[in-house]
């Protein structure tokens, strides 16, 4: 199943290396395909390099699109991560 939600990057650094790392770590915990869309650009949400090429600075509007068996949970978790400014909670899968 497919789900999507629009979020705004609000942490001052934007989707920088560490936030992107946290995003990918969380995304890879789900079986669903995750994509990030910024304007015309669409990238794989499980590829940190691809995410970094978006250069999503603070204030950027991103759409998270998730497709797969656990789409709802994935979308909730990922949107929350961005909305809560990548707060350093224990997101580590291991």
Partner 1 sequence: MQKLQGIAVSPGVAIGEALVMDNEGFRIPRRFLARDAVENELDRLSLAFNAAAGEIEHNRDAVSRELGKEYAAIFEAHLQMLRDPRLRGELEQMVRERHYSPEYAVSRTLRRYAKVFQSLDSGYMAERANDIFDIEKRLLRNLLGRRREQISNLTSPVLVLAHNLTPSETANLDRRFVRGFVTETGGAGSHTAIVAEGLEIPAVVGTGPFLTDVSGGDVVIIDGDQGLVILHPDEETIARYRHEVEQRRTMAARLESLRDLPAETQDGVRVQLDGNIEFPHEVRHCLERGADGIGLYRTEFLYLGADVEPDEEAHFNAYAEVVQAMGGRPVVIRTLDLGADKLSSPGLDIERNPFLGLRSIRISLRNTELFRTQLRAILRASALGDVRVMFPLISTMLELRQAKMVLADVMEDLEEHGRPFNRELKIGMMVEVPSVVIMIDQFVEEVDFLSIGTNDLIQYTLAVDRSNKDVASLYTASDPAILKLIELSVQAAGRRGIPVNLCGQMSGNPLYTMLLLGLGLRQMSVPPSAIPEIKKICRSVTIAQCEAVAARARRLEHARDVKRYLKEELKQVLPELVG
Provide the binding-site residues for partner 1, judged by CB under 8 A.
Answer: 14, 17-18, 20-21, 24-25, 44, 46-50, 52-53, 55, 57
Q: What does the buried/exposed string (b/e) look like for 49-60 if buried means 16 or more CB atoms within 10 Å of the residue's CB?
A: ebbeebebeeeb
Beta-carbon contacts of residue 94 (< 8 Å; ≥ 6 apart) = none
When the beta carbons of 15 and 75 are compared against partner 1, the nearer one is: 15
Could you give the CA distance from residue 31 to residue 13 in angstroms, rounded to a whole number? 29
Q: Which of 5, 14, 16, 73 is catalytic?
A: 16
Annotation marks residue 92 as catalytic: no
Q: Which of 23, 10, 27 is nearest to 68 (CA)?
A: 27
* For partner 1, the closer CB: 18 or 61: 18
Q: Which is nearer to partner 1, 57 or 87 (CB)?
A: 57
Supply the minimum distance, in Å, between the C-beta of residue 20 and partner 1.
7
Task: List active site positions.
Answer: 16
């Amino acid at each position: 199943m497919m789900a999507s939600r629009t979020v705004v990057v609000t942490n001052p650094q934007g989707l920088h290396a560490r936030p992107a790392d946290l995003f990918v770590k969380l995304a890879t915990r789900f079986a669903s395909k995750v994509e990030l869309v910024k304007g015309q650009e669409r990238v794989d949400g499980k590829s940190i390099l691809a995410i970094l090429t978006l250069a999503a600075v603070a204030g950027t509007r991103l759409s998270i699109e998730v497709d797969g068996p656990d789409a709802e949970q994935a979308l909730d978790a990922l949107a929350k991560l961005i909305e809560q400014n990548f707060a350093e909670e224990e997101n580590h899968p291991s």
